[in-house]
């Protein structure tokens, strides 16, 4: 039994399809398009596990069209062009357009989406794209204008319960076991409304059933089974933050092996690559900072680069940046300095800015001695003048403390030369 339960239970016709009655119910717009064979290119927009991929397959099967699939996670422009050429060769005489299904189309970069335009416009393929993100923001306008957008709704609890019951009654393997569901709450909770995950959880729990014995599925049984056996990566749940935290802590701890491993966990789990890149920018400043100022440039460039190329090539750029940051010298001196400064502001309130360093754009301000006595640093040797810039109530307060790394020790030496013992450098 190598085929997963979710695949074995995948419906083969619209009549067996779960939910989405507003799209595929009798008399609905999409159903009419399918039944007449007049199928536009389209985008399915909805949360994970509501049947986007299944519906695309049913459409191609019912219309007896060649069906090609690509995943935006691991397909590039070369793959797109190869599929289009294959589809072009399948259009004999009056044959209908092949269907090209692209999962997670929002992960395609602009150039990758551009490569689809000609084939869609000329009718070489009928495009069906699936996305969990708002296509208005994630799909280029030229492609979006050539597609009909259909919104798939989250599955109702009764739909999910019916799916579970159908699986234990009709699946060729589960139906041979004596399985009874006494409690549904944990099954539904771990599935998060995702039908595919729901069936995965059921299969995992069902494997506990003895060959000829009875299995009563309860909330406690499901929780124990999941915690012991199932590796989940939920992009919006606790696991999302656990893996992201592990990535950050591995880079902070200068472990490139662990860091690239957790990066892979996030990528394989379908994490938003821009979310990852933004975490890298934060770490480059918070945990590396002045110890290696180039780290922030690397991380910022990484975000720009992945936006340009998209997946799957973006994985290489992210790997380069993650390993660079993990192996870079570390410092949190700037992070600590701003935290100290903000705490001091909260403690002391709105202290008056010294008159000497206030601007004096009007005569009245000049008469009030705004700017009087200010000394322009560039008029002095080494572009430095010993001057008090802080409010008098906190004069001499040290907020920036250079870390023990070569770059910041040079900064400390320079500050000590300028400020002598004032700040204790």
CATH code, domain with 213: 1.10.8.60
**125 and 186 within one domain:** no
Domain end point (choices 151, 168, 184): 151
Is the domain of 247 the same as that of 313? yes
Per-residue pLDDT of the chain (425 residues; tens, 9 = 90+): 457 888 888 888 887 787 888 888 888 888 888 888 788 888 998 888 788 888 988 888 888 888 888 887 777 788 888 888 888 777 655 667 788 898 888 888 888 888 888 888 888 888 899 988 888 878 888 888 888 888 888 888 888 898 899 888 888 888 877 888 888 888 888 777 778 888 888 888 887 766 666 788 888 888 877 765 444 445 544 456 678 888 999 999 999 999 999 999 888 877 888 889 999 999 999 999 999 999 999 999 999 999 888 888 899 999 999 999 999 999 999 999 998 998 898 888 888 888 888 888 888 888 888 888 888 889 888 899 888 888 988 988 999 989 888 998 998 898 888 888 888 76
Q: What pLDDT is recorded for position 230?
A: 45
For residue 291, tell me if it sits in a domain. Answer: yes
Contact predicate 110/144, CB 8 Å: no
Beta-bridge mates of residue 180: 216
Same domain, 61 and 129: yes
Evaluate whether residue 390 is within a structural domain. Answer: yes
Q: Could you tell me the end-to-end alpha-carbon distance of the chain, in angstroms, rounded to an integer?
A: 69
Residue 2 lies in a domain: no
pTM: 0.52
Residue 315 lies in a domain: yes
Tokens linked to 126: 């009928």
Same-domain check for residues 30 and 135: yes
Give the count of domains, the chain.
Answer: 4
Is the separation of the CB atoms in 30 and 147 below 8 Å?
no
Domain assignment present for residue 7? The answer is no
5 belongs to a structural domain: no
390 and 353, same domain (yes or no): yes
**For residue 205, what are the domain limits?**
157-229
**Shared-domain flag, residues 137 and 25:** yes
Q: Bridge partners of 100?
A: 68, 127
Q: Is 128 domain-assigned?
A: yes
Q: Are residues 289 and 381 in the same domain?
A: no
Task: State the Cα–Cα distance between residues 326 and 280, nearest whole angstrom.
Answer: 10
Could you give the count of Cα atoms lying within 13 Å of 40 in the half-sphere of its Cβ? 15
From 120, 151, 182, the end of a domain falls on: 151
d(CA 256, CA 326): 5
Residue 173 lies in a domain: yes
Domain boundary among 282, 306, 327: 327
| CA atoms of 286 and 172, how far apart (whole Å) | 55
Claim to verify: residue 31 and residue 119 sit in the same structural domain: yes
Q: Which residues, other chains included, contact 162 with Cβ-Cβ below 8 Å and sequence gap of 6+?
A: 18
Same domain, 196 and 93: no
């Amino acid at each position: 039994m190598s085929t997963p339960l979710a695949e074995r239970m995948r419906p083969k016709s619209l009549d067996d399809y779960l939910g989405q009655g507003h799209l595929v119910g009798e008399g609905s717009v999409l159903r009419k398009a399918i039944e007449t064979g007049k199928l536009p290119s389209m985008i399915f927009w909805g949360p994970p596990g509501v049947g986007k991929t299944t519906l695309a397959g049913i459409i191609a099967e019912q219309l007896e069209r060649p069906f090609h699939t690509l995943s935006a996670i691991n397909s590039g422009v070369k793959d797109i062009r190869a599929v289009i050429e294959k589809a072009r060769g399948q259009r004999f005489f009056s044959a209908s357009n092949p269907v090209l299904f692209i999962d997670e189309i929002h992960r395609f970069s602009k150039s990758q989406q551009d490569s689809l335009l000609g084939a869609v416009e000329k009718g070489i393929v009928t495009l069906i794209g699936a996305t969990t993100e708002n296509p208005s923001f994630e799909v280029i306008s030229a492609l979006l204008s050539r597609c009909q957008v259909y919104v798939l709704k989250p599955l109702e609890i009764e739909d999910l319960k019916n799916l579970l019951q159908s699986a234990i009654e009709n699946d060729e393997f589960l139906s041979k076991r004596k399985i009874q569901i006494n409690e549904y709450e944990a099954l539904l909770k771990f599935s998060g409304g995702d039908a595919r995950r729901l069936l995965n959880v059921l299969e995992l729990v069902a494997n506990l059933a003895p060959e000829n014995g009875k299995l009563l599925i309860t909330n406690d049984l499901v929780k124990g089974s999941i915690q012991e056996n199932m590796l989940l990566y939920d992009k919006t749940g606790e696991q999302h933050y656990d893996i992201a935290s592990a990535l950050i802590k591995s880079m902070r701890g200068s472990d490139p092996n662990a860091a690239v491993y957790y990066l892979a966990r996030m990528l394989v789990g379908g994490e938003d690559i821009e979310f990852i890149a933004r975490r890298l920018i934060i770490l480059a400043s918070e945990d590396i900072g002045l110890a290696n100022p180039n780290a922030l440039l690397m991380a910022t460039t990484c975000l720009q680069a992945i936006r340009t190329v998209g997946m799957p090539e973006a994985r290489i750029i992210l790997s380069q940046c993650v390993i660079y940051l993990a192996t870079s010298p570390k410092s949190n001196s700037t992070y600590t300095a701003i935290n100290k400064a903000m705490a001091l502001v909260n403690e002391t309130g709105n202290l008056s800015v010294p008159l000497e360093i206030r601007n004096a754009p009007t005569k009245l301000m000049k008469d009030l001695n705004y700017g009087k006595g200010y000394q322009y640093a560039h008029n002095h040797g080494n572009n430095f003048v010993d001057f008090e810039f802080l409010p008098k109530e906190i004069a001499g307060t040290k907020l920036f403390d250079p870390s023990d790394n070569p770059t910041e020790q040079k900064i400390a030496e320079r500050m000590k030369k300028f400020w002598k013992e004032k700040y204790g450098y």
